[in-house]
Structure 1
Amino acid sequence: MAFRFFEESAHVAAYLQYRVTPHELINKIIDFMGPKLQNKFNLAVDVGCGNGKGTVLLAPYFNQVVGTDISPAQLGLARANSIRQNVSYRQSPAEQLPFESSQVDLVTAMTAAHWFDRPRFLKESERVLKPNGCLALLSNMKYRALEYGDATSAVNDICQEFLAALLPFNEPHMGSCPSKIYFDMFEACPFPDKQWNTCQNISRKMTINHFIGLVETYSSYQKLKSEDATKAKRLSDDIRNKLLAAMQVSSPDTELTLVMKYFYMLARKP
């Protein structure tokens, strides 16, 4: 079955502000696709595009990029922030894409496919892709690490404390290892030419407040907040204060480094 999250307006805005977009992986996708036709491919479809931060990264490589999502709120924000003339957005479920058969050069989903009805999505991707068209799915491990000079060990322990406090609120279908969901899709994908890649580190400098805001966008934190908003705020404040103390700084706008581990699958339709 498919799941629906990240649609409440404040959550949508926070998602745009704080979520990490793994731009380092775009070249991996383009390289796998092979030689471009007249310097650009024709059509890319970013499924579960959300606010479009990942969708626009495809714009330089395609004549047309279409982001699709089930959420009107997410699409509204994507359109409001759209600056690329060759990027547009359509509302549709991942399992019923608004394209003719054999029309699309690339179907991708960036940290979204775990919410889809995965067998139906794979079948739909196969339908819309052209011969030699590619499917690219990427997401990240639950692994997070913080780095801050000599205080790296201390701030990372606080990061793990934050994530551990949210474990009871994780969506059950995600299991203990999100990559298994994607590896199962990789195994189920009928295309013979396919690659599985795991554990590429993505690092981002961000402030303490940005890190807190990022974690607050997670579905597990949102679930805690919906059950007990006071407890959720107390947890955020406690983690923020512990990071300030460990880093020996007074401003939550002080920067540290977040490290995430991404994995991805690439597959080419015969």
Structure 2
Amino acid sequence: MTRDLTHGIRSAPRRKAAAGPASEAGQAGDAATVAAVLARLADRDPDPKAGFDRTDPFRLLVTVLLSAQSTGPTVSRVAEALFAEVRDPAGMVALGEARIVEIIRPVGLGPSKARNIVKLSAALVADYGGGVPRSAAEMRRLPGIGRKSAEVTANFAFHEPVIAVDTHVFRVSNRIPLAPGPTVDAVADGLARSVPEGFKDNAHVWLFRHGRDICTARKPACPRCPVSDLCAWPGRSTA
């Protein structure tokens, strides 16, 4: 089975983070540090998107919408069930909210997500001929699609050089720091300025995995961190 693009993505809060810097605008990190960190992560995982199914932008978009406040494995199972019954936006509209709610119930927030799935599907049919717009900016005009969902989909499906910020990317970006900021938008804007173009296509996955596996919220594995010597976080441990 191909891997699902949500890979356990969790949303970071949009409110100000208690440990974050004061500037609402966010900051670009030190260019040399950012490049060095990403180069090391790239050496360890040169093809981080290998195995992800990126052939169907509509499915990617709906799957990311389903992932809010849910876990990767559950989202994958629900997406499989949903797309076993329907393949395109027109079919999703015809399927209707009630049936969609039944199918997606395990991911939580079923009524709200079903409503947005039908609305965005109708918008895709009416405004894009049943296709998915190629840019994150256009996707954000769709019902239920915020910045993270749009940027994940645009990056995975169309290789747009945008870096979606979830809770793991937010944490790593503030700790090292790569692009310190008190909000998701501030960090995303900082990463857009500080990450070299050559790293942007894969930066989200590298930073997500680093935050999930090494730079965890509690008891980060600093002794086995490949970028520990580049990290300025005061809470960094060596034992």
The two structures have a TM-score, normalised by structure 2, of: 0.28
More strand by share: 1
More helix by share: 2
When Rg is computed on C-alpha atoms for both structures, the one with the higher figure is 1
Q: Which has the higher contact order (CA 8 A, sep 6+)?
A: 2
The two structures have a TM-score, normalised by structure 1, of: 0.25
